[in-house]
Structure 1
């Protein structure tokens, strides 16, 4: 990537004086390694990221220049990664979403974005899809990342297919719930422990279906949507139907901090395996995350928070306070081998169409992998760092 406009704080200017020089490559800026001065050793420490994400070959560029801004303005790369055909369908849905919105502005720290900007980006990308020789009139704004060096953790999510029953029996006895219409005297909904282990919602006719595994329910809550299949073959899509308002706590992080799973081995698969091997501690661990998700019925395809169908391998869940829903992103996403080891990165366009309770701040996005077991496998392996750019017009467009 070529830097177009680099804004530095006095502290970063002092650090640059200690560096020899930047070496410019044909496609990207090669940054120097950290020197052994006291100030730079601290700046390059892995303490800049959550220790649960500090594992070997995590994809983080620890030598990148640190800065204070949420976004760093850069020029667009010479060639955008041309997407597969389903991206166009996702883009069409995204444009429909933007057209439904009333005029608004998004204040992203020192970067102000309005609805016309997002429409302009979608329009430019659609022109480029029709004519790949066309150069979109856009500027890339790199997200500061978890460490303010541009390193964004990219995890994956998917839509599972779960066998369920209409009525409970000895095996299928764990309910999936609609959102309650009433709160308690304090104006709050029950916590996960109260709902799953103390039957706080029983008798309110909120049950959609019954599953055979409470851990499956937990991961369905984390994913936010899923396809259920009843005993008679009927399938139904469950979508995000609200949350209980309690804070989200990652049980993966909890297991790392307790020394139960090494941070390099943490994944959806390793968490499931640990819970299977420690059934007597399941309540203890699941209840450390009091956040609880409710489901809604009736849609035909999985949709995100933007209320548009999700596009496998192109939709992403973001924190709308740093990336507005309806944005188009350029991302350098992790490439993993069959064992989940990072083997490189590739550029990809992503559509910001969803959000999630665990996606907070400029250091994390969730990349949608699709429906079913293959998507489940890939989503469970992703936990590595990449880089993300918000695409914006070079100046305010007039109207579209």
Structure 2
């Protein structure tokens, strides 16, 4: 069982036992194959993807369970991220969130943060929390956990023969539907040229694309100056995964898909760059922000503890217990480990209960780890055992 290390390390009560039972004993191999093919997107159906097909299927989005008696103790960087989380919760207005079969509030999220903070200062004091498991992509609790990072990208202030691909601020003009031009129109038809929106120029349109996917990045100019470019809005067009597109076209096997393999494919097929990049019409604009990468909650991101979520499923400001993939140097799954995560960001590709994005940090090492992550784990939304009275249904 993929939960075995959790039982050995934390000695939890039987809070997970209800859905760890096999689905059935007869024709089990056939059943697993059927589950694998029909319950998740086929682009994620690769060998050793970390998915637990033995968990019972359910209809509810959240499955309420007792908190285990042991939580994974984080390092000091988590405490800094938690302080930012508390500052965010103190800054926003009080409201309630209606989350399908459960509900919570800003006040509840504050209670969770306070319980975790008190536990960090006194580990013998068990947090008074309840774990609500997210249904995942397959209604069996399996959530795909991908990674993102902040790249460091060489740029120029002015274009030249090499550095000629602009990174843009958000324009003011849009069409009658409230949308801005598509990726193809912006990158290949110069739809934004002449509006003074250029922040910097890069040497590779593919670098721009991956910077859009990451949502922020550090740029380094020719004089050594560095600036952080943060999320500055999107063009309103739907997001389409390049990896999924290449899998469906038979260009890359689903087991081999990663940021690195997509980059390599684009490098080897320059004549098809426009065709493939344009299949994702979504386009991200940047703003020159603070010195440290920030997420949608407008707080600095903490490497290996911040996560991007769909706020309609997991409110920003929530704390999660997550079973995250452990990979070897080749990107192969070798197990899972449990971590506390901070819901501090969101992204165009993070929709529904089946996907979160785990922040890996800044630079090439973070890039390497983020590019390998595409496996399944499990996620629990932590809520107080004694919630506050509800006031207003807001979401």
**C-alpha distance in structure 2 between counterparts of 1:286 and 1:34, whole Å:** 44
Q: Which residue of 1 aligns with 2:220?
A: 229
C-alpha deviation, 1:186, in angstroms = 4.1
Q: Which residue of 2 aligns with 1:350?
A: 341
**C-alpha distance in structure 2 between counterparts of 1:69 and 1:202, whole Å:** 49
C-alpha deviation, 1:299, in angstroms = 0.9
For 1:228-267, what aligned pairs fall within 5 Å after superposition?
228-267=219-258
**C-alpha distance in structure 1 between counterparts of 2:241 and 2:85, whole Å:** 30
Aligned match of 1:31 in 21, 29, 53? 21
C-alpha deviation, 1:326, in angstroms = 0.1
For 1:300-315, what aligned pairs fall within 5 Å after superposition?
300-315=291-306
Q: CA 1:148 to 1:28, structure 2 compared with 1: closer, same or farther past 3 Å? A: closer
Aligned match of 1:394 in 379, 385, 392? 385
| Count of residue pairs brought into register by the alignment | 378
Higher mean C-alpha deviation, range 183-192 or range 356-365: 183-192
Task: State the SS of the aligned residue for 2:211.
Answer: helix
Which string of whole-angstrom CA distances, capped at 9 and with x for unpartnered residues, describes residues 217-240 of structure 1? 000000000000000000000000
Q: Which residue of 2 aligns with 1:50?
A: 41
Q: Is the 8 A contact 2:56 2:140 kept in 1?
A: yes
Q: Name the Cα RMSD after superposition.
A: 2.0
Q: Is the 8 A contact 2:36 2:45 kept in 1?
A: no
**C-alpha distance in structure 2 between counterparts of 1:348 and 1:383, whole Å:** 17
Alignment pair present for 1:197 and 2:188:
yes
Q: Is the 8 A contact 2:32 2:53 kept in 1?
A: no
Task: State the SS of the aligned residue for 1:339.
Answer: coil
**C-alpha distance in structure 2 between counterparts of 1:236 and 1:93, whole Å:** 22
Q: Which residue of 2 aligns with 1:206?
A: 197
Structure 2: gaps (5+ residues): 5-11, 391-395
Q: Which residue of 1 aligns with 2:146?
A: 155
C-alpha deviation, 1:185, in angstroms = 4.2
C-alpha deviation, 1:43, in angstroms = 6.7
Q: Which residue of 2 aligns with 1:8?
A: none
Q: CA 1:25 to 1:34, structure 2 compared with 1: closer, same or farther past 3 Å? A: farther
Alignment pair present for 1:65 and 2:56:
yes
Q: CA 1:270 to 1:41, structure 2 compared with 1: closer, same or farther past 3 Å? A: closer
**C-alpha distance in structure 1 between counterparts of 2:158 and 2:23, whole Å:** 61
Which string of whole-angstrom CA distances, capped at 9 and with x for unpartnered residues, describes residues 135-181 of structure 1? 00000000000000000000000000000000000000000000001
Q: Which residue of 2 aligns with 1:17?
A: none
Q: Which residue of 2 aligns with 1:116?
A: 107
For 1:68-107, what aligned pairs fall within 5 Å after superposition?
68-107=59-98
Q: Is the 8 A contact 1:35 1:41 kept in 2?
A: no
Q: CA 1:397 to 1:26, structure 2 compared with 1: closer, same or farther past 3 Å? A: closer
Which string of whole-angstrom CA distances, capped at 9 and with x for unpartnered residues, describes residues 25-80 of structure 1? 97953422543379967973431000000000000001100000000001111210
**C-alpha distance in structure 1 between counterparts of 2:207 and 2:271, whole Å:** 17
**C-alpha distance in structure 2 between counterparts of 1:161 and 1:382, whole Å:** 20
**C-alpha distance in structure 1 between counterparts of 2:168 and 2:182, whole Å:** 13
Taking structure 2 as the reference length, the TM-score comes to 0.92
**C-alpha distance in structure 2 between counterparts of 1:281 and 1:358, whole Å:** 23
**C-alpha distance in structure 1 between counterparts of 2:39 and 2:93, whole Å:** 39
Q: Is the 8 A contact 1:34 1:41 kept in 2?
A: no
Taking structure 1 as the reference length, the TM-score comes to 0.91
Which string of whole-angstrom CA distances, capped at 9 and with x for unpartnered residues, describes residues 188-242 of structure 1? 2000000000000000000000000000000000000000000000000000000
Structure 1: gaps (5+ residues): 3-23
**C-alpha distance in structure 2 between counterparts of 1:251 and 1:356, whole Å:** 15
Q: Which residue of 2 aligns with 1:174?
A: 165
Q: Is the 8 A contact 1:167 1:210 kept in 2?
A: yes
